[in-house]
Amino acid sequence: MKKEIKFSLVYRDMWQSSGKYVPRKDQLAKIAPVIIDMGCFARVETNGGASEQVNLLYGENPNLAVRTFTKPFNEVGIQTHMLDRGLNGLRMNPVPADVRELMYKVKKAQGTDITRIFCGLNDVRNIAPSIKWAKQAGMIAQATMCITYSPVHTAEYYIKMAEQLIAEGAQEICLKDMAGIGRPTILGEIVKSIKTNHPDIIVQYHGHTGPGFSVASMLEVAKAGGDIFDVAMEPLSWGMVHPDVITIQAMFKAAGFTVPEINMKAYMEARRLTQSFIDDFLGYFIDPRNRFMTSLLVGCGLPGGMMGSLMADLKGVHAAINSNLKAQGKAELSEDELLVELFDEVKYIWPKLGNPPLVTPFSQYVKNVALMNVFAMSKGQERFTMIDPNTWDMILGKAGKLPGTLAPEIIELAKSKGFEFFDGNPQNNYPNVLPKYIKEMEELGWERGQDDEELFEFAMHDKQYREFKSGEAKKRFNAELEQKMAAKLQASGGSVKVPDFRQLRHPNAEPVVAPVGGRVMWEFDYQEKSIKPIPGTAYKTGDMLCAIQTNGRGLEIVNALFDGKIVESVEQGFVAQKGDIIAYIEK
């Protein structure tokens, strides 16, 4: 009897691997019945990850969006699944245990069948509680291994981790190949071991297409006994996203597997609708570079979805690095040469930082250190002179245990700064908070919502929920969209009024460029009052200038690349595009 292969459409991740926002509730309601009509999907990824935070960012209630999208699939027996960041829940930073536990009750009530639980460090301690809570809520607990390639991340490493997850009660195992750099034969070896020892455990493979391995990986995983495969569909397949269902279905069929047929009329309609969402507003927030694959990712192992922000990073420091090199009588670098140098630096420092899987947010931390090292060395300075606080938390073990071993120089650097290493359970650092939120909602007259879903949303996304309730989020999103539309019109030769700040010129100052798109935060109390640095505020090289609140990647730290004083800057809360000038610093 031929083995049956099932497909899961990662409709959420298709969007979040392409750009910033996800479709609105009304758009999800349109696409769901068409996905069902395609007839080839056993599962659909409907929510989780950063998508629900994104709803809040543009002023939409995420709970209504989840219920709207899951309902049609529930009614026809298609399983729905969500992405769950373990200790971090649905956000980028750790979540108290009582909020994590409530999440599974809420998401089950909203119609989500399966939770895909991962830890960015592959620390089983951060996954185990979620397995228990998910099962208690009636969800299927799919425990996840973040796949990467290094001397540490061997087949034996993952086989051991899979056994630990199954021992903790995981009902399914997902291989989350977030950068698409998992080597096909190694993935096959891992799956073969799982299926040999636990034939009833469902194995699902999720691989991005960035460097090009994922199609071959799918075939190896299927031959080894894999059950379900994540796929995408046009116009958001391939590039830095996922393989298209048409190609993968044809490949498996030719290899002798039993696969579902695709209703091509429905496929074309789903394709048309998805493109209409892009044309409506989502396309303004999609980086065109994410449409392309690149083999350069094979060496550095960074997720393909980071390429857009990475190129913006390089744009921001390229001129400064060449200025430093020129001052030392060294040859200047082209953008391509600088890109290769940065990738080489990532490869060099990754094992020194303990080989964290290069998945959000740890991929950003490693990339940031590499970029600051390249900059420092262009000035003749030593490596690791500029490490931001979030990266230090990773190094010190506050997010979980690193898979590899820290280099002695990193340990000594931490000790020289008076930092202490943490080897306890990360969850213990975050006490329960639900009583506080319940009390505040009562005081404000806010409803806790059906199945406590509004309470959960408030506790999970405190700041974003407040701005959603006040209307500030919707107002800011509309302004951001208008800015994007104006920029596109200007690029096409139209007449657009450029914000006054961008016309400023400071002949003795250097611009600070936004490395990613997002909201510029000069201080972290997030008060309603809009502020900006006082002109004349002095910064030293490596000081944190500000943070940019991004979608899906948390806070991106912007450091000073040289000593100087602020002479002009954008306001607190300014929504910057990648490459925008957000400040001028006079040396």
Choice between 293 and 72, residue whose per-residue pLDDT is larger: 72
Q: Give the dihedral of Cα atoms 155, 160, 166, 171; nearest 10 deg.
A: -10
Per-residue CA distances from 132 to 103, 125, 135, 310 (Å): 12, 12, 5, 37
Q: Please tell me the distance from the alpha carbon of residue 449 to that of residue 458, in angstroms, as a whole number.
A: 11
Listing DSSP states for 394-424 in one string gives HHHTSS---SS-B-HHHHHHHHHTT-----S
Comparing CA positions, the residue from 52, 32, 137 lying closest to residue 460 is 52
User: How high is the pLDDT of residue 498?
Assistant: 39
* pTM for this model (two decimals): 0.84
Average pLDDT, the chain: 89
What pLDDT score does 499 carry?
A: 42
Higher local confidence (pLDDT), 354 or 493: 354
Query: What secondary structure does DSSP assign to 93-124, as a single string?
Result: S---HHHHHHHHHHHHHTT--EEEE--TT--H
Res 299 pLDDT > 50: yes
Name the band, by pLDDT with cuts 50, 70 and 90, for residue 173. very high
How distant, in Å, are the alpha carbons of 17, 81, 95, 302, 477 from that of 140? 25, 9, 21, 30, 35
- Burial of residue 147, with CB atoms counted within 10 A of its CB: 0-12 exposed, 13-18 middle, 19 or more buried: buried
Q: Kindly report, residue by residue over 146-163, the tens digit of the pLDDT.
A: 999 999 999 999 999 999
The angle that helices 155-167 and 124-136 make with each other, rounded to 10 degrees, is 40
Gap between the Cα atoms of 157 and 193, Å rounded = 12
CA distance 79 to 69: 12
**Amino acid in position 558:** V
pLDDT, tens digit (0-9, with 9 covering 90-100), for 539-575: 887 777 888 877 655 567 788 877 888 888 887 777 7
**Of residues 318, 378, 375, 346, the one with CA closest to residue 561:** 375
Q: Which residues of 444-482 are buried (b: 16+ CB within 10 A; e: fewer)?
A: eeeeebebbbbbbbbbbbeebbbbbbeeebbebbeebbe
What integer pLDDT is reported at residue 551 of this predicted model? 62
Kindly tell me if the per-residue pLDDT of 200 is higher than 80.
yes
Beta bridge partners of 519: 549, 575
At residue 93, the pLDDT reads 85
Paired strand residues for 41: 7
User: Which pLDDT does position 306 carry in this prediction?
Assistant: 64
pLDDT higher than threshold 50 for residue 496: no
Residue 239's φ and ψ, nearest 5 degrees, are: 55, -130
Residue 470 neighbours by CB under 8 Å, 6+ apart: none
Most confident of 324-333, 392-401, 474-483, 548-557: 392-401
Q: What is the mean pLDDT of residues 323-345?
A: 85
d(CA 456, CA 106): 8
Cα(222)–Cα(213) distance, integer angstroms: 14
Percent above pLDDT 90 for the chain: 60
User: d(Cα 416, Cα 555) in Å, to the nearest integer?
Assistant: 26
Write down the pLDDT at residue 124: 97
Percent of the chain with pLDDT over 70: 91
Distances (CA, A) of 7 to 113, 124, 221, 265: 16, 27, 13, 18
More confident residue, 381 or 169: 169
